[in-house]
Amino acid sequence: MPQPMESRLSENHRRVVSVLMQQAEMVCDEVERWLSRPSGLLNRTRGEFPPTAQNQLRELLQRARREISRSAAALNLSSAVVVRRQAVLSLLTKILSDIEDVHSPGLRAYGNISPELEQQVDAHLARLHAIFEQMAELCVRS
């Protein structure tokens, strides 16, 4: 009797294929988000898909998800565990660092800027930084 496929995979192979399938699932999630993502204030979208193409893409996403599920079961793949709070805190830490890098004198590294304009930009960045900082503190306390 042939050995089940998952017992033929080494741990290293199982780990590599697991990560690949996790990435494939994330791609499906991201494609799905882009199909329904509206334009934002500073991040505009364009190049809409016709409804028939959207429907076809959604059907293909369902097929891809089913195939990922079949593969995970057949190959006994491991799933990644992501702690939401840590993922959100990581995003917030990154944007806080980026804001601090641009906040004066960081903005001067990109060229001359008048002191008045620099103060105005700093004020905007400081307000945004304070909001993200509150969000990060909430994550830490939760």
CB 59 within 8 A of CB 51: no
Q: Which domain holds residue 96?
A: 84-141
Burial class (CB in 10 A: 0-12, 13-18, 19+), 21: buried
Question: Which of 75, 107, 127 is the last residue in one of the domains?
Answer: 75
C-alpha to C-alpha distance for 136 and 96, rounded to whole angstroms: 9
N-term to C-term CA, the chain:
52
The pTM for the full model equals 0.75
Shared domain check, 71 and 34: yes
Instruction: List average pLDDT for each run of 10 residues in the chain, which is 142 residues long.
Output: 61 94 96 91 89 96 98 93 94 96 84 91 96 96 90
Domain count within the chain: 2
Residue with tokens 């079949």: 70
CB 25 within 8 A of CB 64: no
Quick: pLDDT tens for 39-54.
899 999 888 889 999 9
